[in-house]
Amino acid sequence: MEFRNSLPATGVYTSVMACKKWILRTLRVAGLAALAVVLLTFVAVQFQQRLLRWRAERLMADMHQIHLYQSTWADAQRLMYKWGAWGHYDGSCTAAECRYEISLTDISYRKLGRLMRHGGFRVYSLFGGRATRLSVSFTVHDGTIWRETAGISVTASPRVLSAEDEFPLTLIVETKSRQRLRRTEDDWWIMGPDEQLAEHPYYKVGRPGGCEINCEEAVVTYSTRTPPVEIDRLMSFNLSCLTRLSSCMELEQILPAAKDWGLYHEKENSAMQEIAGPPRPCDIPLWAVARDVRYALGVEGLSTKKVKKPGVTFLAADDPLGNGPDFKEEEDQVRILTILKGTPHWDLGAIVLAHPYGGTEFYPDVLGASEHLLPGKHYIVFPIGDDRRDQVLTQESPIALDPCGVWEDTPEVRLELEKGFAQNDNLRGPELR
């Protein structure tokens, strides 16, 4: 009787054990499936990142083969054929005129869409995905390549414990060639003060004001006549940032050349400047000044006098400007003898008022000493004008001059000017941007 009563208990026990085994088996299968999904996702992300890096390295190697004014339309066609899947142009593209752009991106720019905006980007990044865009372009003019650009942006992986809406750091570098390194109304995306040219006359570098918290950005503009080895250095991106599991977090990691600039390490940069002294406008090589000015004139000084000008003073915050003590400014009359560069509004032989730089009693070694246009002497001058809307010249405009805008007209000065003028070309319009 007892044996019969134990049969139901044994059946229940067997059923429970079978249920447990089934649950464990299910959990094991689910775990293995989840692990497989994780591993496959990791492998897929890593594969596309390494494929992107491989393509990016080959694209940049091809860009390093471009030599401005020397690479031909045939060279451009080979690049367009090779990178046609990632390239495009607007309008027509011929040996006479063509601007061709090539862009490489990771999958986050093209596929994941809404998922990337709802937590998917965090997972993607933790698996090694890096939101990346590499864009290059070249401009063909009259059968040869005259311009080139290269830019890269790489977004770091967000911190594991960061807020959901906290955007991760993005490193951005933009490099581009220009015949002049002067910022103008038409070509305003040229960063960095002119004084940089005293240290490196072939390029300027700066950072935009809005890139402070979640990004670091360098904008590099170099002369089209920059030695190729220097162009290679300015365009040498560290593409290992695309495949590192630990994200690149500083601008110098994506562009090693930026170590010398201190764009986001102002204290280090200022300490170095205190030792060497700040660069001055008159330290810029004359040929570099001649390359970048819009106008250059040969003039003869006719007369000079001091004229009284109303001064300006700073007042309270609600009325910041007021009348200050008057000051005297040198006002000269000059005759225009030659037009060396540009098409200014004054005619040859015209007699024009001129205002040379007046200097300052504060830091004259840095800001420059006063300059003069003495009667009976011949000078080369670089008038300010037409680069900005507030500098538009007319036939009645006086000649206004920046520091180091007056040079004695000598054969040596003329030779340096010709070196600078020879670096300019006639390419204008949207190809510059």
Claim to verify: residue 70 and residue 121 sit in the same structural domain: yes
Q: How many domains does the chain have?
A: 2
Claim to verify: residue 312 and residue 415 sit in the same structural domain: yes
Structure tokens at 272: 């170095």
Structure tokens at 260: 């010398």
Q: Is 178 a member of any domain?
A: yes
Claim to verify: residue 168 and residue 210 sit in the same structural domain: yes
Q: Is 11 a member of any domain?
A: no
Q: Which of 258, 277, 296 is the last residue of a domain?
A: 277
pTM score, two decimals? 0.84
Q: Which of 246, 277, 308 is the last residue of a domain?
A: 277
Q: Is 20 a member of any domain?
A: no
Structure tokens at 399: 């000649």
Q: Is 9 a member of any domain?
A: no
The H-or-E segment that residue 99 falls in is strand 97-105
Domain containing 178: what range? 28-277
The H-or-E segment that residue 248 falls in is none
Which residue's structure tokens are 């593209």?
93
Give per-residue burial for 24-55: e unless 16+ CB within 10 Å, then b. Answer: eeeeeeeeeeeeeeeeeeeeebeebbeebbee
Contacts of 34 (CB under 8 A, 6+ apart): none
Distance CA 240, CA 49 (A): 10
Q: Which pLDDT score, from 0 to 100, does residue 321 have? A: 54
Question: Residue 381: which CATH number?
Answer: 2.40.50.120
Claim to verify: residue 302 and residue 228 sit in the same structural domain: no
Distance CA 372, CA 407 (A): 10
Question: Residue 258's closest CA among 139, 347, 173, 143?
Answer: 173
Structure tokens at 144: 């040869």
Q: Which of 277, 305, 329 is the last residue of a domain?
A: 277
Helix/strand/coil (H, E, C) string of 5-31? HHHHHHHHHHHHHHHHHHHHHHHHHHH
From residue 361, alpha-carbon distances to 43, 321, 358, 381, 405 in Å are 67, 21, 10, 23, 19
Q: Is 201 a member of any domain?
A: yes
Q: Which pLDDT score, from 0 to 100, does residue 199 have? A: 93
Q: Which pLDDT score, from 0 to 100, does residue 143 have? A: 96
Claim to verify: residue 230 and residue 333 sit in the same structural domain: no
Task: Going from the first residue of the chain to its last (433 residues), give the mean pLDDT of each consecutive group of 10, the final group possibly shorter.
Answer: 55 73 75 72 83 96 96 97 95 94 87 58 80 95 96 83 66 96 89 93 92 88 96 96 90 94 70 51 91 96 83 56 65 95 94 84 55 94 89 90 92 96 84 48
Q: Is 131 a member of any domain?
A: yes
Claim to verify: residue 316 and residue 172 sit in the same structural domain: no
Distance CA 336, CA 298 (A): 6
* Chain centroid, CA 411 distance in Å: 37
Q: Which pLDDT score, from 0 to 100, does residue 312 have? A: 57
Structure tokens at 366: 């840095």
Q: Is 80 helix (H, G, I), strand (E, B) or coil?
A: helix
Claim to verify: residue 367 and residue 232 sit in the same structural domain: no
Distance CA 433, CA 431 (A): 6
DSSP single-letter state for residue 322:
E
Q: Is 66 a member of any domain?
A: yes
Phi, psi angles (nearest 5°) of residue 209? -70, -30
Claim to verify: residue 305 and residue 421 sit in the same structural domain: yes
Claim to verify: residue 260 and residue 300 sit in the same structural domain: no
Q: Is 411 a member of any domain?
A: yes
Claim to verify: residue 292 and residue 248 sit in the same structural domain: no
Claim to verify: residue 215 and residue 233 sit in the same structural domain: yes
Claim to verify: residue 251 and residue 304 sit in the same structural domain: no
Distance CA 44, CA 388 (A): 51
